[in-house]
C-alpha cells in the first residue's frame, strides 16, 4: 500500500480542521481500508470558549458522514475532558453513552458523535485514524490470529481482544492501552475489528496507517495469501423468475419488501461455487461494521431464507431473550450465494444494495486470504447476535420502519423518457420506489443519475428486446411490483376512409401489441411481488368518448382498455390488480405536437385556444396530475380496487 499524500493537494485544505479533512479523505479513497461510512478519524485541538478560557476539544467523525467526501462540518466537537471521564465509570449503557455525547457536543446542528468517541478520547495522541483494513482483518481472522498479529508488529501496536464497539471497548482500552504501550507503539489492533494509528500530525498518523497495513500485506504475500481469486466460473443463463422467487421469499421472511441485485461476475460465481461454501460463508462478518447475514443456496426451490444451521440454532436459542429486550427480529439474509445467480444482495433501498455488494466483495477477499493462512475464523455467533440486536442498531431499525410507502419495491414505466411516463417515474421515485424506465429514446439511460433508477432503451414492439430489458431490470432490482403501461402514439387526424394500413398497423402495434408483450413479460414477476402486483394503464378519454378523425388511436386505446379488463379478471387470483386512467388533453407530452393540436381543434370546429380549455372545469391537465393518480393507484388507497377506469380530464361532457 502506498501513501497518497501530496503536498500540493494538502495545501488546498486550510483552517484548523484542514489537515484532518485531507487525510480522512485519503483513507476514504482506498476501499480496502474503509467502505460506505466505515472507519473513523479524530483530532484534538485547543480552542477558546465563550469566556475566553482555553479548553481541549475532540473533533471526531460524525455519524452519517463518509470519510471519502467528509467536510469540516462532518466532525462533531465534544468536550474532551468530560468524555475521558466517562471511560472511568464502572458501567454505562450505550443509549446513555449516546445521550452524554450528544449533550456535550459543542456545536448546535453538529452530527451525532461516533460510538467510538470515548475510545478516540482516551488515546493520548492528537490525531487518531481507524480503519477496517482488509489485510489486517485477513490475518486477525485466521488461526492464531492474535499470535500472527504479534509476529507482524511486535510492540509497534497494542493488541486488543474483540469487544463490541461502545462503552465496554473504550473502558477496556482506557485500562489496558497505557499499561501495554511502549516507546515504539504507533497503533492498536482490535482483533476482528480493525486497526488504529496515531501521531502528532495528520500526515504522521496517516502514513503510520499505511505502514501498518503494508506490513500485513507483506506478511500475506510472503505466505502466498495476498493475490487470490476464486476459481474461474462461467456464467449460466439468467432466469429472471428464479431471482424474483428468491426476492419474494426473502421479503416474506423480513416482513417487508426488499430489493435484490444479482451479480454473476466471475469472482462472485467462483465464490458461490467454492467447494466449502457452506462453511466459509457462515462464519460471520469480517468486522462488526460489515455485519451481513449470508445463506449458501446450492439450488432454488428449497428453504432459501433459513440461516445456516449453526446461526439458526443460536438465533432460536436467543429469540426469547431478544423479544424480552423488545428487539425487532428480522431473520432475512442480506446476501445469498447461488451457483447460478452468483452473489445476490438484498436491501430496502438501491443504496443499500450497493453497500451490501461492496461490503461482501471485500469480505470474500478477507475470507479467501484467511483460508490461505489455514482457515477462516470470524466472530462467534454470540457476538454476531449481539451486534445485530444491539440497542443502537434497533434504534436504526425503528427509524427505518418509517420508510417511504414504496420502499423496497420496483416499478417499471414504459414511455418514461417524456410526458406522462417521465412524470410517473418522478412520482414513484418520490414515494421511495426503485424505477426501471423503458423507452425507445436512448436518452432514457441518462435522464436520472441516481442508484434507484435504471433507464433502458428498448423497442417495446420487439418481444426479444423486452425480454432482455426485463432480465436487466430483475438483475438490477430483483423483480417487478408495479407496472405503468404508458407508451403510445397518436397518429395524425384522418377520417376513417383515409386511414392507411401502415397507420392502422402502427397504432395497433404500439398502443396494443407493445403493451401485451410487456404484460406477458411481467406477469410472472407481478405474481411474485411481495405486496401484490399492480398495473396502471394510461388509457384515454377516447375510450369512453372517441373523437372524429382519431379512428386508429381511439380503436387502439379501446382495445388496450379491453385487454386490461380481461387481465384484471384473469390475474385477480394472482393478487394482481389492474386499473386504468383516462386522461384528456394533456398538452405537455410528446404526443401533442403543434400539428396534432391544430388538427384536433379543427376536427371539433374550435380554435386551438378553445380546444386547450375544453372541459367542465376550464382547467389544464398536466402530466404530473396523471402521474400522481397513477402512483396513488399503486398505493394502499386502491388496495381493494381492480378493473377501475378513472378519468383525469377536467370533466368532459361526452364522458359525463
pLDDT, tens only, 461-476: 999 999 999 999 999 9
CA neighbor of 506 nearest in space, from 518, 492, 520, 526 = 492
CB proximity list for 640: less than 8 A, separation 6 or greater: none
Q: What percent of the chain has pLDDT over 70?
A: 89
- For residues 592-607, give the mean pLDDT: 85
Q: What pTM does this model have?
A: 0.86
Contacts of 179 (CB under 8 A, 6+ apart): none
pLDDT of residue 539: 97
HEC string for 520-541: HHHHHHHHCCCCCCEEEEECCC
**Would you state the pLDDT for residue 380?**
61
Flag whether pLDDT at 446 surpasses 90. Answer: yes
CA distance 310 to 294: 12
Q: Output the nine-digit C-alpha cell for 571.
A: 390475474
Worst-scoring range by mean pLDDT, 34-43, 107-116, 287-296? 287-296
Give the tens place of pLDDT for each residue, 513-556: 999 999 999 999 999 999 999 999 999 999 999 989 999 999 99
CA 162 to each of CA 178, 194, 387: distance values in angstroms, whole numbers, following the listed order: 18, 10, 12
Query: In angstroms, what CA-CA distances link 307 with 106, 296, 304, 653?
Result: 44, 9, 8, 61
- With a CB cutoff of 8 Å and minimum separation 6, the contacts of 6 are none
Please give the full DSSP string across 426-488, using - where no structure is assigned.
HHHHHTT-EEEEEESSGGGGGS--STTEEEEE--TT-HHHHHHHHHHHHHHHS--SEEEE---
pLDDT of residue 88: 94
Instruction: Tell me the pLDDT band of 430, cut-offs 50, 70 and 90.
Output: very high
| CATH-assigned architecture of domain 7-222 | 3-Layer(aba) Sandwich (3.40)
Contact 239, 262 (CB under 8 A): no
From the list 246, 378, 352, the residue with the least C-alpha distance to 306 is 246
Architecture category of domain 240-400 in CATH: 3-Layer(aba) Sandwich (3.40)
Give pLDDT, residue 233.
Answer: 77
Q: Burial, 150: exposed, middle or buried (Cβ in 10 Å; 0-12, 13-18, 19+)?
A: middle
State the average pLDDT over residues 598-609: 86
Say yes or no to pLDDT of 318 above 60: no
What sign does the dihedral 328-329-332-335 (CA atoms) show?
positive
Fold observed for domain 410-587+622-647: Rossmann fold (3.40.50)
Q: What is the DSSP letter of 279?
A: H
Q: Would you state the pLDDT for residue 594?
A: 82
Kindly give, in sequence order, each residue whose CB lies less than 8 Å from that of residue 561, ignoring residues fewer than 6 positions away.
537, 539, 543, 580, 645
pLDDT of residue 599: 86
| CATH topology match: 7-222 vs 240-400 | yes
pLDDT level of residue 320 (50, 70, 90 thresholds) = very low
Q: Which residues are catalytic?
A: 553
Q: What is the pLDDT of residues 475-513, one digit of tens each?
A: 999 999 999 999 999 898 899 999 999 999 999 999 999
Instruction: Please report, to the nearest 10 degrees, the dihedral formed by the alpha carbons of residues 95, 96, 98, 99 taken in order.
Output: 120
Domain boundaries, the chain: 7-222, 240-400, 410-587+622-647
Retrieve residue 190's grid coordinates.
Answer: 482490535
State yes or no: pLDDT of 325 exceeds 60: no
* Vertex 542 angle, CA 539 and 543, to 5°: 60
pLDDT confidence of residue 327 = 41
pLDDT value at 559 more than 50: yes
According to the model, what pLDDT value does residue 429 have? 98
How many other CB atoms sit within 10 Å of the CB of residue 18? 15
Amino acid at each position: 500500500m502506498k501513501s497518497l499524500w501530496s503536498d500540493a493537494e494538502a495545501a488546498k485544505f486550510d483552517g484548523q480542521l484542514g489537515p484532518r479533512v485531507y487525510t480522512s479523505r485519503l483513507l476514504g479513497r482506498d476501499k480496502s481500508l474503509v467502505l460506505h461510512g466505515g472507519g473513523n478519524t479524530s483530532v484534538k485541538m485547543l480552542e477558546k470558549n465563550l469566556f475566553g478560557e482555553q479548553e481541549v476539544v475532540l473533533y471526531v467523525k460524525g455519524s452519517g458522514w463518509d470519510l471519502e467526501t467528509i467536510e469540516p462540518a462532518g466532525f462533531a466537537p465534544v468536550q474532551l475532558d468530560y468524555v475521558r471521564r466517562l471511560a472511568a465509570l464502572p458501567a454505562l449503557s450505550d443509549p446513555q453513552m449516546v445521550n452524554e455525547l450528544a449533550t456535550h457536543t459543542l456545536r448546535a446542528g453538529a452530527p451525532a458523535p461516533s460510538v467510538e468517541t470515548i475510545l478516540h478520547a482516551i488515546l493520548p495522541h492528537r490525531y487518531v485514524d481507524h480503519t477496517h483494513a482488509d489485510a489486517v482483518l485477513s490475518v486477525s481472522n485466521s488461526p492464531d490470529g492474535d499470535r500472527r498479529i504479534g509476529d507482524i508488529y511486535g510492540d509497534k501496536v497494542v493488541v486488543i481482544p474483540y469487544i463490541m464497539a461502545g462503552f465496554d471497548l473504550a473502558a477496556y482500552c482506557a485500562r489496558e492501552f497505557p499499561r501495554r504501550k511502549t516507546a515504539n507503539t504507533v497503533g492498536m489492533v482490535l482483533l476482528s475489528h480493525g486497526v488504529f494509528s496515531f501521531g502528532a500530525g495528520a500526515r504522521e498518523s496517516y502514513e503510520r496507517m499505511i505502514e501498518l497495513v503494508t506490513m500485513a500485506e507483506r506478511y500475506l504475500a510472503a505466505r502466498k495469501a495476498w493475490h487470490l481469486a476464486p476459481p474461474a466460473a462461467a456464467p449460466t443463463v439468467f432466469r429472471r423468475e428464479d431471482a424474483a422467487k428468491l426476492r419474494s421469499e426473502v421479503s416474506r421472511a423480513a416482513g417487508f419488501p426488499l430489493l435484490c441485485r444479482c451479480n454473476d461476475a466471475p469472482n462472485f460465481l467462483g465464490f458461490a461455487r467454492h467447494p466449502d461454501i457452506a462453511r466459509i460463508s457462515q462464519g460471520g462478518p469480517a468486522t462488526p461494521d460489515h455485519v451481513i447475514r449470508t445463506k449458501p443456496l446450492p439450488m432454488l426451490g428449497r428453504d432459501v431464507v433459513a440461516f445456516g444451521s449453526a446461526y439458526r440454532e443460536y438465533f432460536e436459542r436467543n429469540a426469547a431473550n431478544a423479544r424480552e429486550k423488545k428487539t425487532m427480529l428480522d431473520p432475512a439474509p442480506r446476501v445469498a450465494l447461488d451457483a447460478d445467480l452468483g452473489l445476490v444482495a438484498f436491501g430496502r433501498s438501491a443504496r443499500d444494495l450497493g453497500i451490501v455488494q461492496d461490503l461482501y466483495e471485500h469480505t470474500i477477499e478477507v475470507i479467501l486470504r484467511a483460508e490461505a493462512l489455514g482457515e477462516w475464523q470470524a466472530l462467534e455467533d454470540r457476538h454476531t447476535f449481539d451486534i445485530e440486536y444491539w440497542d443502537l442498531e434497533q434504534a436504526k431499525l425503528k427509524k427505518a420502519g418509517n420508510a417511504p410507502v414504496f420502499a423496497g419495491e420496483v416499478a417499471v414505466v414504459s414511455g418514461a423518457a417524456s410526458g406522462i411516463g417521465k412524470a410517473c417515474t418522478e412520482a414513484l421515485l418520490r414515494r421511495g420506489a426503485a424505477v426501471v424506465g423503458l423507452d425507445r429514446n436512448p436518452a432514457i439511460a441518462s435522464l436520472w443519475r441516481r442508484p434507484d433508477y435504471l433507464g433502458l432503451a428498448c423497442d417495446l414492439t420487439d418481444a426479444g428486446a423486452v425480454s432482455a430489458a426485463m432480465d436487466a431490470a430483475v438483475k438490477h432490482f430483483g423483480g417487478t411490483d408495479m407496472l405503468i403501461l404508458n407508451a403510445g402514439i397518436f397518429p395524425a387526424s384522418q377520417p376513417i376512409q383515409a386511414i392507411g394500413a401502415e397507420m392502422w398497423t402502427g397504432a395497433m402495434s404500439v398502443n396494443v401489441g407493445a403493451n401485451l408483450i410487456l404484460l406477458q413479460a411481467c406477469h410472472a414477476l407481478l405474481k411474485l411481488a411481495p405486496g401484490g402486483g399492480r398495473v396502471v394503464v394510461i388509457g384515454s378519454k377516447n375510450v369512453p368518448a372517441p373523437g372524429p378523425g382519431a379512428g386508429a388511436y381511439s380503436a387502439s386505446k379501446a382495445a388496450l382498455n379491453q385487454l386490461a379488463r380481461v387481465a384484471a379478471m384473469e390475474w385477480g387470483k394472482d393478487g394482481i390488480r389492474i386499473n386504468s386512467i383516462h386522461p384528456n388533453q394533456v398538452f405537455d407530452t410528446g404526443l401533442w405536437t403543434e400539428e396534432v393540436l391544430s388538427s384536433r381543434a379543427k376536427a371539433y370546429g374550435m380554435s386551438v385556444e378553445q380546444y386547450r380549455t375544453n372541459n367542465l372545469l376550464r382547467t389544464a391537465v398536466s402530466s404530473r396530475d396523471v402521474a400522481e393518480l397513477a402512483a396513488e393507484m399503486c398505493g394502499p388507497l386502491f388496495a381493494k380496487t381492480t378493473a377501475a377506469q378513472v378519468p383525469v380530464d377536467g370533466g368532459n361532457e361526452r364522458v359525463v
